[in-house]
Amino acid sequence: MKEQQSVGIVVPQTAHFSDPLPLKSGGVLPQYDLVYETYGTLNAARSNAVLVCHALSGSHHVAGRHADSGAEGWWDNLVGPGKPLDTRRFFVIGVNNLGGCYGSSGPNCINPATGKPWGADFPFVTVEDWVDAQARLADRLGIERFAAVVGGSLGGMQALSWTLQYPDRVAHALVIASAPKLTAQNIAFNEVARQAILKDPEFHGGHYYEHGVVPTRGLALARMIGHITYLSDDAMGQKFGRALRHDKPVFSYDVEFEIESYLRYQGDKFAGFFDANTYLLTTKALDYYDPAFAYNGDLVAALGRARADYLVVSFSTDWRFAPSRSREIVYALMHSDRRVSYTEIDCPAGHDSFLLDDPQYHGVLRAYIDNIRL
């Protein structure tokens, strides 16, 4: 067993792009910044680069720690020396997506045209737009072809999209806890979250920055709804059950059940640092993603361009991105004659399982990644 280590202190970098980026919505971003981090070293052949794509609330900070805050990367258990995505072998990149709120151009940044924050005027961005922007960053870093593109949830959609938009630039895609498109139920959860934000009196049509306020109540509610769907019934039951703060009902709307306390805490914490406009934009990107749409819903036809090899992973208790949705991707890839492996990990933690280090899950990732030839 290899000893697993952290990549240590990491420093984010910023790349500025002055070439306009055409967007799927028909709009254009005239110029933009992308914040990113890298771990490991790009080899002389430039063949060992791996892109890690983030999900709804993730960022470019995938691994290691920031010196000032001490904050650990969101997928630190996967990326590092001796870890399944071993930075002694691979050059790993994390990018904050466009529309994000961690430094890449987004609604909380200044719109050069007005000198004021973009707010609701920031254009709609899609999974495909993110991939286009990531490809330009890859160009800038001298990466012609990724050894792998990896992502969970919305990040898995980006990994899949990479292999369709840039089939010759990806050797392997790891599509984890994802789906080829959202179901009506999944979109419904996103819509409730958006309505919570849009109906917050402090939203001000998305221009709350100018009013010096933040729609924290709406954003916290949105996060609470999300959290419920990321956990499994069993996991929530085991963690909180019906535990009462006062050991008996006190007939109040204040926190009584421990699950209420947990959700409020998670909601408030999230609303303290995340941007409401980013949440809106990102959930729409999730809803719009549907590579088969242009092919009359025929996913096999949509995947016809793909040239990559795939690993698809799902989790038994994930009901927001259920195993059956991953299997749709798997069967479509197989029927497109792509090399694909699929595993359904038995893990109790629901959608959030993809961020954990379940031994079987990380064992399969390690085995698959170890077989990637550079």
Partner 1 sequence: MSFQRYDYDVIANWIEPGERILDLGCGDGSLLRYLAEVRQVRGYGVEKDPERVLACARNGINVIQIDMEEGLAGFDDGFFDHVIMSLSLQAMHNTQGILKEMLRVGREAVVSFPNFAYWRHRQAILNGHMPVSKNLPHQWYNTPNIRFFTIADFDDLCAQEGIAIRERLAFDEDKVITDEPNFLASVALYRLGRSETATG
Closer to partner 1 by CB, 14 or 360: give it: 360
Under the criterion CB under 8 A, does residue 336 sit at the interface with partner 1? no
232 sits near partner 1 (criterion: CB under 8 A): no
Q: Is 357 in the site for partner 1 (CB under 8 A)?
A: no
For residue 215, give every residue at least 6 positions away whose Cβ sits within 8 Å of its Cβ, in sequence order, or none. 197, 200, 201, 202, 203, 208, 276
**Out of 16, 145, 245, 335, the residue judged to bind partner 1 by CB under 8 A:** 335
Burial 266-285 (b: 16+ CB within 10 A, else e): ebeebbeebbbbbbbbbbbb
Q: Which of 292, 305, 327, 356 contacts partner 1 by CB under 8 A?
A: 327
Stretch that binds partner 1, among 37-45, 159-167, 331-339, 347-355 (CB under 8 A): 331-339
Query: Which of 187, 334, 348, 356 is close enough to bind partner 1 by CB under 8 A?
Result: 334
- Does 236 participate in binding partner 1 (rule CB under 8 A)? no
Can residue 370 be called a binding residue for partner 1 (CB under 8 A)? yes
Choose, by CB under 8 A, the member of 9, 41, 339, 357 that binds partner 1.
339
C-alpha torsion angle, residues 337, 338, 344, 345 (rounded to 10): 160
Asked if residues 155 and 79 have their Cβ atoms less than 8 Å apart, the reply is no
On the 0-12 / 13-18 / 19+ scale of CB atoms within 10 A, 28 is exposed
63: Cβ–Cβ under 8 A, 6 or more apart, which residues? 6, 7, 10, 37, 39, 73, 75, 76, 78, 79, 80, 87, 92, 94
368 binds partner 1 (CB under 8 A): yes
The sign one gets for the Cα dihedral 125, 128, 132, 133 is: positive
Q: In the structure encoding, which two tokens stand for residue 157, read together?
A: 């959609």
Least CB distance from residue 360 to partner 1, whole Å?
5
350: left (phi over 0), alpha (psi -120 to 50) or beta: left
Give the position of tokens 């709009």: 27
Q: Could you tell me the smallest distance in angstroms from the CB atom of residue 317 to partner 1? A: 15
- For residue 196, give both structure tokens: 């919570």
Cα–Cα distance for residue pair 245/275, rounded to 1 Å: 31
Q: How far is the CB of 339 from partner 1 (least distance, A)?
A: 5
Closer to partner 1 by Cβ: residue 30 or 363: 363
Phi-psi category of residue 323: left, alpha or beta, with phi > 0 → left and psi -120 to 50 → alpha: alpha
Given candidates 213, 346, 357, 374, which one binds partner 1 under the rule CB under 8 A? 346
CB nearer to partner 1: pick between 244 and 292: 292
Out of 210, 234, 337, 357, which residue is the one contacting partner 1 (CB under 8 A)? Answer: 337
Q: Which of 330, 347, 349, 355 binds partner 1 (CB under 8 A)?
A: 330
139 is catalytic: no
The DSSP string of 108-148 is TSEETTTTEE-GGGSPP--HHHHHHHHHHHHHHTT-SSBSE
Does 342 help bind partner 1 (rule: CB under 8 A)?
Answer: yes
Least distance between partner 1 and beta carbon 84 (Å): 11
Q: Which is nearer to partner 1, 183 or 195 (CB)?
A: 183
Using the rule CB under 8 A, is 195 a contact of partner 1? no
Q: Least Å distance between CB 187 and partner 1?
A: 24
Asked if 340 touches partner 1 (CB under 8 A), the answer is yes
For residue 150, report the phi and psi dihedrals to the nearest 5 degrees.
-125, 140
Counting contacts by CB under 8 A, is residue 13 touching partner 1?
Answer: no
* 49 touches partner 1 by CB under 8 A: no
Residue 257, token pair as written in the block: 């059940």
Asked whether 158 and 301 are in contact (CB, 8 A), the reply is no
Catalytic residue from among 54, 60, 61, 351: 351
Asked whether position 75 contacts partner 1 by CB under 8 A, the answer is: no
351 is catalytic: yes
Could you please report the per-residue DSSP string of 331-359? HHHHHTT--EEEEEE--TTGGGGGGS--H
Query: Is 23 in contact with 129 (CB distance < 8 Å)?
Result: yes
Q: Select which of 59, 153, 161, 232 is catalytic.
A: 153
Among 29, 343, 349, 351, binds partner 1 (CB under 8 A): 343
Catalytic positions: 153, 318, 351
- Residues lying near partner 1 in the complex (CB under 8 A) are found at 311, 327-328, 330-331, 334-335, 337, 339-344, 346, 360, 363-364, 367-368, 370-371
